[in-house]
């Protein structure tokens, strides 16, 4: 039962974030912002969808139980959530799941951005690794951590170049 409640919680979070991202996307595009790497975004969406399908499949097919260290893992998960929402709040209307940059805007240097260039990606890396580990889904943790590492590394390069090109 805990597994299903936890996964429902995470999926509802993601859906709420997509609503916020869509609202911010419309605002930024209306102000003349430019989107970068539209095709790459499709891969991110596919990867996250397959992540949840893999997690569910591994949990059910292999009858995975909760990890002996689940308390530590769930604490780390919630710390990642705190970092994620601190980043979202700090970016305000500039936060998005896509790479959308408003020409002439200034880089955000408040909140976690005082310490890290990409705190939201740190949270995503943690989630992709720890959500499956909480439920002993080691295959999903390994496969999607590797895929996520490639996706985020690529995305950071594109995002940094876009920010350098269009922000002051």
Residue 168 has pLDDT above 80, yes or no: no
Q: What is the pLDDT of residues 60-110, one digit of tens each?
A: 999 999 999 999 999 999 999 999 999 999 999 999 999 999 999 999 999
Q: What is the 3-state secondary structure (H, E, C) of 15-72?
A: HHHHHHHHHHHHHHHHCCCEEECHHHHHHHHHHHHHHHHHHHHHHHHCCCCCCCCHHH
pLDDT for the residue numbered 65:
96
Domain count, the chain: 1
Name the DSSP letter for residue 117. S
Q: What is the pLDDT of residues 18-52, one digit of tens each?
A: 999 999 999 999 999 999 999 999 999 999 999 99
Q: What is the pLDDT of residues 133-149, one digit of tens each?
A: 999 999 999 999 999 99
pLDDT for the residue numbered 149:
96
pLDDT for the residue numbered 147:
97
Parent domain of 58: 2-166
pLDDT-derived band at 162, boundaries 50, 70, 90:
very high
The CATH number of whichever domain residue 42 belongs to comes to 1.20.120.1630
Residue 5 has pLDDT above 90, yes or no: yes
Query: What length is written for the chain?
Result: 168
pLDDT for the residue numbered 152:
96
Q: What is the pTM for the complete model shown?
A: 0.92
- The percentage of residues in the chain with a pLDDT greater than 90, rounded to a whole number, is 98
Name the CA radius of gyration of the chain, rounded. Answer: 17
Contact 102, 33 (CB under 8 A): yes
Beta bridge partners of 100: 35
Q: How many CB atoms lie within 10 A of CB 164?
A: 10
- State the Cα–Cα distance between residues 168 and 166, nearest whole angstrom: 7
Q: What is the mean pLDDT of the chain?
A: 96
Task: Tell me the two tokens of residue 149.
Answer: 């590492």
pLDDT for the residue numbered 18:
96
């Amino acid at each position: 039962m805990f597994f299903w409640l936890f996964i429902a919680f995470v999926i509802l979070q993601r859906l709420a974030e997509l609503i916020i991202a869509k609202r911010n996307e419309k605002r930024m595009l209306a102000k003349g912002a430019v989107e970068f790497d539209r095709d790459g975004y499709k891969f991110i969406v596919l990867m996250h969808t397959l992540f949840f399908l893999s997690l569910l499949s591994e949990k059910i097919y292999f009858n995975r139980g909760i990890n002996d260290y689940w308390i530590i893992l769930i604490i780390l998960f919630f710390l990642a959530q705190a970092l994620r929402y601190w980043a979202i709040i700090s970016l305000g209307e500039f936060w998005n799941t896509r790479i959308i940059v408003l020409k002439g805007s200034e880089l955000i240097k408040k909140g976690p951005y005082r310490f890290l260039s990409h705190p939201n990606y740190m949270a995503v890396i943690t989630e992709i690794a720890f959500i499956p580990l909480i439920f002993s889904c080691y295959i999903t943790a390994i496969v999607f951590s590797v895929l996520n590492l490639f996706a985020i590394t690529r995305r950071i390069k594109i995002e940094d170049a876009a920010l350098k090109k269009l922000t002051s």
